[in-house]
Structure 1
Amino acid sequence: MTTGDPRNVPALLRQLRQDNFSGTVRLAGSPGGTIHLRSGLVSAIETPGTPSVESALLKSGRIDDEVWSAALTATQETDGLATALAGQGRIGEAELELVCAATVFEGAFALSLGKPSEWEVAEPAATVLSRHGIEPHALAEETSRRVAVVSKKWGPPAELARAKTRPAAGADGRAARLPARYRSLLVTANGRRTPRDLAFTLGRGLFGVMADLIRMDGLGLIEWDRPRRTDRPSTAPRARAGQPVAVLPAPAASLPRRVRGASPDRSSRGPELPAAPQDGL
């Protein structure tokens, strides 16, 4: 099927797109995970680095355990699971597609924070898939943009993923003026949770949580368990009393970083999805 020697995961995904491949790419390492492809398009990414579609739907309250269990019982087919979920009447097909697509981008960002030790191309596996899928080159570019945003506004993304945060003194008194998602982060941040922990607790994507925490840091709403390693002073504007809080602005896109590759067969050493970023989905 595939030919040549893909030097990293993005190159492998581009090659699988050319082959119109349907199946999975299983990544070993930290965080590791599974990339699902249909006709070469990335239709789902599952990784312990960010919530899955199931977690995002359940934690956000869009559906409950009963609806999820009923959908699993109704069908075990890859395409049928999404159809069964929408058929329960608790989530529309358009909303479900939005959640699935968002999870693909969040999963790629989470994978970019680690270094998979190897990959394996395998047969399809049942999961909730995006109906349309994402082109590999578009996914790599967006992932690179997101990493760049975090790097510019805070510092190394992998360090932010491990940092623990808590509300700053006086943050509670300003909570009434904050967006609901900021308030939920203030309530959930307790000095022991990392951005990944917060993402899973709230059923939100890792990058979305990071973007909000960066903005909240600039507004003096949170503090970290240890100083940031950055030589860039914070340039985020402070909100004055009565003013609404804006979201993190999206920067210009940057090119994905290339990583040297792997061995000639399908199980290869090396790669990671491009390192670099964005703001909200």
Structure 2
Amino acid sequence: MSGTEQDGWGSSDRAGCDLLAAELAACEREEFTGRVRVTGTPGGTLHLRGGLVVAVESPGSPGPEALLLRSGRVSDEQWAELVREAGGSPWPAAGLIAREYAGAAQLRVVCLMAMRDAVFAIVAGRLDDCERDAEAEPAAPSPYGESPWRLLQDADRRLAAVETLACPVSPDRERTVAAPGAEWTEGLTALRRELLAHADGRRSARDLAFLTGRGVYAVTVEVARMLGEGLLERVEEPPPIPLSPAAARHGVGQRLRALPLPGPEPDAAERAADPEPPADEEPATDADDLPRRSPGASGINESVNSQDSQAS
């Protein structure tokens, strides 16, 4: 089933969202076990058990592994050792609990935050098609399923919140650059300083979320606010370079169009993601996020306030 192309941020792909909602409602009603693959930009996969969603994966948002690694509770070396001990499992939950790197409740919160962020990324993009597929075990399933309808309602609420901002942006389209002198503005939060450092005119909110290790919704909201305050500036797409008649006759245009477009450079240090604030509140600072044990590293607080990630 096909969606519609987005013309801009204010014209969300409502037809595609409605069709996806109908498909997931049928899955919940039929207690479907398997996966629903959503094609589009960025697209993703929703894994269901008995009609409930246990995991969501999307290239548009950081996953639970990156979120946990960024928290500072587990180092890269410790994670690699846990994966080896688990026989290559991409989500060694038993080892994390046994080594007391994280508790069972903490892992559930991590999975839920990543799940909600991924659904937001999928719904905020373009939905081309979705279809059910055979059962496939997700990399990091939540021990408790979530209602697909509730996840879609949460994503829709977030979309509406972003659209009400003065300078709304799409998570994966607009590119921004730091305004001249913005880094010297007084009272900048740690998140804003990170965004200014990485906003080089080639990166979208999605790219900045991976680079800063934050949720894509939280970064999208903060980028929109910083645009409204003049701390960031939009970068317009460069116009096509006209070719001379001689170059066109020799097929230069065809050869140029065949070349791959440059994209943001991958960053080996990409990590994700903090619980995301609603658009009508200030984004969480380091003290409100997965708390840090020392500057530059963070640890998951033993009492994660899951209500913050559900606030409107």
TM-score, normalised with respect to structure 1: 0.70
Say if 1:211 and 1:280, in contact at 8 Å, map to a contact too: no
Aligned 1:62-77 pairs, distance under 5 A:
62-75=73-86
Partner residue of 1:117? Answer: 129
Aligned residues: 228
Say if 1:57 and 1:203, in contact at 8 Å, map to a contact too: no
Report sequence identity in percent. 35
Partner residue of 1:186? Answer: 196
Question: Which one of 146, 165, 170 corresponds to residue 153 of structure 1?
Answer: 165
Say if 1:46 and 1:52, in contact at 8 Å, map to a contact too: yes
Instruction: Report the Cα distance in structure 1 between the residues aligned to 2:61 and 2:70, rounded to whole angstroms.
Output: 13
Say if 1:215 and 1:248, in contact at 8 Å, map to a contact too: no
**1:248 to 1:147, Cα distance in 2 relative to 1, 3 A:** closer
Structure 1 vs Structure 2 CA RMSD: 3.0
**1:21 to 1:211, Cα distance in 2 relative to 1, 3 A:** same
Instruction: Report the Cα distance in structure 1 between the residues aligned to 2:21 and 2:95, rounded to whole angstroms.
Output: 32
Say if 2:86 and 2:95, in contact at 8 Å, map to a contact too: yes
- Name the SS of the counterpart of 1:166 in structure 2: strand
Q: Which structure is richer in relative contact order (CA contacts within 8 A, separation 6 or more)?
A: 1
Partner residue of 1:220? Answer: 230
Partner residue of 1:106? Answer: 117
Partner residue of 2:69? Answer: 58
Unaligned runs of 5+ in 2: 1-17, 238-276, 282-308
**1:92 to 1:188, Cα distance in 2 relative to 1, 3 A:** farther
Instruction: Report the Cα distance in structure 2 between the residues aligned to 1:78 and 1:16, rounded to whole angstroms.
Output: 27
Q: Give the Å deviation of 1:206.
A: 1.3
Instruction: Report the Cα distance in structure 1 between the residues aligned to 2:203 and 2:47, rounded to whole angstroms.
Output: 29
**1:11 to 1:74, Cα distance in 2 relative to 1, 3 A:** farther
Question: Which one of 55, 67, 80 corresponds to residue 44 of structure 1?
Answer: 55
Say if 1:58 and 1:203, in contact at 8 Å, map to a contact too: no
Aligned 1:1-281 pairs, distance under 5 A:
8-75=19-86, 81-112=92-123, 113-153=125-165, 157-158=169-170, 161-174=172-185, 177-226=187-236, 248-249=279-280
Instruction: Report the Cα distance in structure 2 between the residues aligned to 1:26 and 1:220, rounded to whole angstroms.
Output: 39
- Name the SS of the counterpart of 1:148 in structure 2: helix
Q: What's the CA shift string for 1:217-273, capped at 9, x where partnerless?
A: 22222111139xxxxxxxxxxxxxxxxxx98416xxxxxxxxxxxxxxxxxxxxxxx
- Name the SS of the counterpart of 1:117 in structure 2: strand
Instruction: Report the Cα distance in structure 1 between the residues aligned to 2:88 and 2:34, rounded to whole angstroms.
Output: 14
- Structure showing greater radius of gyration is 2
Q: Give the Å deviation of 1:60.
A: 4.7
